[in-house]
Structure 1
Amino acid sequence: MTIIQRLRSVGTAQLQGLADVLLDCVAGGASVSFMHPLSRERATAFWEHVAASAARGERALFVAEDGQGIVGTVQLILEQPENQPHRADVAKMLVHRRGRRQGLGALLMAAAEEEARALGKTLLVLDTASADAGRLYARLGWQRCGLIPGYALLPQGGLCDTTYFYRQLARPGA
């Protein structure tokens, strides 16, 4: 059974679990801002930064946990410019290879969207270099709004395209 939860504080074991997911995704070829090989120290430092931001309320950090620990994660970046209080960015939706094709991405996205609605957000934005993730987002009702060719590098090298998506949300009770 998989549990999805929002982490407001992150312990050492959770940091290591998040690092494991990031390391696995990068080793598996996901273009998520890091090059291969990614060191555990660098992966842990990234999650320490995210955890501090979550503790300050600048982002919502969600994890999916199974019997082996953290298997997936997604972030809702709440800290936006003052002229954009109605929106948030979805970032680093990552699922360990052991948990893929089990609906975890959809569960994580549903949790992020639910939290965004509860916080009064009406627009979400994300980008992805993954065709699989792009199909998931489209299936969940996200609108594709453009592709930038050669936007980033794949972890082992070589350029990849990035696709941008948005989703308009209704306010709670609307």
Structure 2
Amino acid sequence: MDNRSKTGNTIIIEKCISIEEYVNELSTLLIQVVEDGASIGFLSPLNRSEANQYWGNVLNPGVILFLAKMNNVLVGTVQLHLCQKQNGGHRAEIAKLMTHPNYRRNGIGRLLMEKAQETALQMGRTLLILDTREGDPSNLLYSSLGYIQGGRIPSYARNENGLLDPTIIYYKDIM
């Protein structure tokens, strides 16, 4: 896997074990992507205390958080949510894929997704699912990675203008 950005900088993807040392950078990233219009469960304006509270509650036994760094700067993140149900030990959900707006189009999202998929497979998870707002650029990324549209839900999430946007559900069998 090539971990170089289009500018030639090395992108490092690592598993986050402890949130404390990253909470400020993660909160800044979350605020910036929400301000840039990302549909990841929050609406702009998002204040720092809300962002800090969110990150303080992310890590638990069913969640793996990956960080992307370029030149020691946190530039992206993704979560792998492991299904905890007895009948779902074969599946996981991709959640909150974020790339800092200033670092997009450098392959960061792709590397994060590939790392999450590789980890899921190593853990015996063979089905990945995710959802994203219809029409967002992320739809192109997920399709290019082999995710298949499983359905569309209208009026799924409120946007910053108060309107309800549809979401697309994707899945990928990684056996």
List aligned pairs for 1:39-50, cutoff 5 A: 39-50=47-58
Q: Distance in 2 between matches of 1:134 and 1:4?
A: 22
1:35–1:156 contact (8 Å) kept in structure 2 = no
Counterpart position of 2:154: 149
Question: Which one-letter code corresponds to 1:167 in the other structure?
Answer: K
Q: Which has the higher contact order (CA 8 A, sep 6+)?
A: 1
* CA deviation vs aligned residue, 1:112-145 (integer Å, no higher than 9, x gap): 0000000000101000015210110000011111
Structure 1 segments (4+ residues) deviating >6 Å: none
Counterpart position of 2:170: 165
* CA deviation vs aligned residue, 1:14-59 (integer Å, no higher than 9, x gap): 11111111101110111111111111010011011013x1xxx211
Stretches of structure 1 lacking an aligned partner (at least 5 in a row): none
Q: CA RMSD in A?
A: 1.3
List aligned pairs for 1:5-154, cutoff 5 A: 5-12=14-21, 14-51=22-59, 53=60, 57-67=61-71, 69-129=73-133, 131-154=136-159
Question: Which one-letter code corresponds to 1:128 in the other structure?
Answer: T
Aligned-residue offset at 1:150: 1.6
Aligned length: 165
Stretches of structure 2 lacking an aligned partner (at least 5 in a row): 1-9
Question: Which one-letter code corresponds to 2:30 in the other structure?
Answer: L
1:80–1:87 contact (8 Å) kept in structure 2 = no
TM-score, with length taken from structure 1: 0.90
Q: Distance in 1 between matches of 2:84 and 2:161?
A: 32
